[in-house]
Amino acid sequence: MIQQSTTRQERDGAPDTAALMRALAAYIERNATQPLPLAHLAAQAHLSPAHLQRTFKAHLGVSPKAFHDAARFALLKRGLRDGKKVIDAITDAGFESTSRVYGSTTRSLGMTPSTYRDGGAGETITHAFRDTAFGPLLLAATDRGVCFAQFGADEAALVAQLQSEFPRAVLGGFPGREAPELEAWIESLEAHLAGTAARPSIPLDLRGTTFQIRVWKFLLGVPEGAVMSYGEVARGIGSPRAIRATASACSANRVAVLVPCHRVLRADGKLGGYRWGIVRKRTLIARERARAALSAEHGTGRTRPAGCAR
């Protein structure tokens, strides 16, 4: 049984519900390689299956089954990165068949398991670097769109970070005439960071869990100059109690500014965390509010939300 002091209360909002769901999530992670049907998890939590399904999703943002799958995929990714054969990594992660893995790869790995094992081998990722008003920035894209836009200490550190995520992909530096789109994208983003242009509309290649992508897509629709709380975002995606999971999705965002997680604040209105530093977050919000106010003053209306996920 889960090592969590609980009552048998099954009403939403019970004081110990959040702790119970966290304990159940930890139990799933510890036993990810084992079959974990809903009835078994419900017995562990002393809840009915229907109530567990509803409560777990409200607090974690995904169903127990989806969370179990994600935990298995984490094991699979670890095994592939350690150089295991694909079939061995799949079996060791607890999957009953390869079809279950290959049917979910675009959601969970962004590529097939063999390609992931090979560190993105076969994928071409082109990157460009700029020393922007917000500091060193590396923008990287596949043929589907931008998959990486991050600030860091310098170009070498940022390229190393990109390489660690796709260790055997074909990484190309700024190719000039061979990829005019990338040149246009980084120049438009650089202009935005300098405060001379709105956030550009750039195609995105977002890679994450189903829940993370729901959060990121929702954020693409938050207009410039507006801010929301983590709770408001959770309600906006239809998971009102998944506030903690929403915050985690924001912190996992690999695409700075273009996916505007800086527009999400704490419930008390304070800035909260930001992967690329509070100073950047504060400055981004201030500039966007000023630009939105100027736009309204001149009657040009709101800036169209940027970006699209493919």
The whole-angstrom separation of Cα 135 and Cα 128 is 14
The whole-angstrom separation of Cα 277 and Cα 280 is 6
Q: What does the block give as tokens for 265?
A: 């604040």
DSSP string, 177-235: GG-HHHHHHHHHHHHHHTTSSPPP--EE---S-HHHHHHHHHHHTSPTT--EEHHHHHH
Catalytic annotation present for 308: no
Q: Which of 147, 250, 261, 308 is catalytic?
A: 261
The whole-angstrom separation of Cα 61 and Cα 18 is 12
> Are residues 272 and 285 in contact, defined by beta-carbon separation less than 8 angstroms?
no
Scan for tokens 């938050």, then name that residue.
222
Please, what is the Cα angle at 127 between 114 and 181, to 5 degrees?
A: 110
Beta-carbon contacts of residue 55 (< 8 Å; ≥ 6 apart) = 12, 17, 21, 47
Beta strands in the chain (DSSP E): 124-132, 135-142, 145-151, 170-172, 203-204, 228-229, 264-265, 308-309
User: Rg of the chain over CA atoms, in angstroms?
Assistant: 21
Beta-carbon contacts of residue 158 (< 8 Å; ≥ 6 apart) = 129, 136, 137, 138, 150, 151, 152
Hey, which residues are catalytic here?
A: 261
